[in-house]
Structure 1
Amino acid sequence: MRLEAITWDRLTEALADRITRTETADGGPWLRVAVDGAPAAAPGERARALAEALRVRGRAVLVVGTEGFLRPASLRYEYGREDPETYYSGWFDTGALWREVFAPLEPDGSGRVLPDLWDPATDRATRSPRRALAPGGVLLLHGPLLLGHWFPFDFTVHLRLSPAALRRRTEERARWTLPAFARYEDEVAPADTADVVVRTDDPRHPAWGGLAQA
């Protein structure tokens, strides 16, 4: 894939323009967008910037992070605190994401999404109230390893890091997760799957492959 340099501001504006022109795959009233990337690529930061650009364009937006849908510690640490296989397939509660985030946004859904479910600091349920997303609104779900679960996204952005950059930018205490991201590359190939790929090896100078025709 040929990539060209772009600023974060220009990229955010281009993505927001494209999302406002995107139609839902199931004909429902809510658009579901993924901002996929390792923590080192800061997908939450990018999702929040994109949310602001969409709000300026008159769209209601709900930003949800997968860190609020971790499994309880007893399940995450069943095979130790630094098991990359569990991180890959057992840290995030994909069933809860289907039930609490995506099901309410089906064509006949209520539009009332649970923004988070589990607090990893207290290892207890957050008890957060559901938040209503108005028809025509956009869900921005951000986090690592998002693609490959058959989540019904209408538009996907992958923040790509080369293996060397991922290792360099991942905190030392979290480098045990690196084999999980290598497996993700091998099994899911997110750069081939996503609608938009953004190279973030240098966070000051992103590059992207552009937008396909809508």
Structure 2
Amino acid sequence: MQLVTTPRVTFLRELADAILRQYGRGRMIVAIDGPLRSGKTAFGDDLAAVLRERGHRVFRASMEDFHRSREAQDAFGDDTPERYFRYGFDESALRRVLVEPFRMGGSTAFVTAVFDPARDAWVQPKWLTGPADAILVLDGRFVLRPRLAELWDVPIVLDGDPVDPADVLAYAEADPRHGDAVVVDDRDPEHPRLAADRGR
């Protein structure tokens, strides 16, 4: 479906074309990080729409659907920003049911959501399959942390200084804007742009 051309869509088309020139075939994962309330999910949705416009099969996922339960988090101590940063998400499930089977391609099934944090409950897994050439767009806090970095083909981070205490901890440990990620200034969502070089 042809999208209505706006400055945002034009920017996303240029970004999508740059991504596709580098990773044109096979299974590819785009990961989008950024501070709390920086617009990661909306940016991921819109980028996925543009990639679909380009004729690609695209799947969406969010780290919000890979939370650990409150009970599981309690095993790591008191409820603090540091506990949430280090143990709030089930990275093992992310790898096991989404990233690894998605990477296998073909008819191997994968799951894009395992947990509903609002209800603090597991969700019935919906197993998906796709063609050999497919793109997964994943958004979420801390997805560009060093221990997950090798999972992503295209890392993108939305610019902005952390304010939430868990984000402050994450950025103090490894600021994703200073790595290999594409840094996007999306603070004016109608007119996103590539951010200025931050000393990468």
Tell me the TM-score normalised to structure 1 length: 0.78
Q: In the alignment, is the contact (CA less than 8 A) between 2:9 and 2:50 conserved in 1?
A: no
Tell me the distance in 1 between the aligned counterparts of 2:119 and 2:8: 35
Query: 4+ residue runs of structure 1 moved beyond 6 angstroms?
Result: none
Tell me the distance in 1 between the aligned counterparts of 2:150 and 2:111: 16
Deviation of the 1:33 alpha carbon: 0.7
Identity score, percent: 28
Number of residue-to-residue matches in the alignment: 188
Match of 2:151 in 1: 152
Comparing 116-125 with 136-145, which one deviates more in the overlay?
116-125
The one-character-per-residue Cα deviations of 1:62-110 (angstroms, maximum 9, x if unpaired) are 00011110001112355444x1011111111111111111111234674
Q: What aligned pairs does 1:45-194 form with structure 2 within 5 A after superposition?
A: 45-77=42-74, 79-81=77-79, 83-107=80-104, 110-147=107-144, 148=146, 149-163=148-162, 167=163, 178-194=164-180
Counterpart residue type for residue 52 of structure 1: A
The one-character-per-residue Cα deviations of 1:113-145 (angstroms, maximum 9, x if unpaired) are 201001123222101311112211100010111
Deviation of the 1:150 alpha carbon: 3.3
Counterpart residue type for residue 191 of structure 1: R
Counterpart residue type for residue 16 of structure 2: A
Specify every segment of 5 or more residues in structure 1 that has no aligned partner in the other structure, as ranges: 1-6, 168-177
Counterpart residue type for residue 95 of structure 1: S
Tell me the TM-score normalised to structure 2 length: 0.83
Tell me the distance in 1 between the aligned counterparts of 2:140 and 2:43: 11
Deviation of the 1:179 alpha carbon: 2.2
Counterpart residue type for residue 146 of structure 1: V
CA RMSD of aligned residues (A): 2.4
Q: 1:55 to 1:87 in 2, by over 3 A?
A: same
The one-character-per-residue Cα deviations of 1:38-64 (angstroms, maximum 9, x if unpaired) are 331111111110111011111000000
Tell me the distance in 1 between the aligned counterparts of 2:35 and 2:189: 13
The alignment partner of 1:40 has SS state of coil
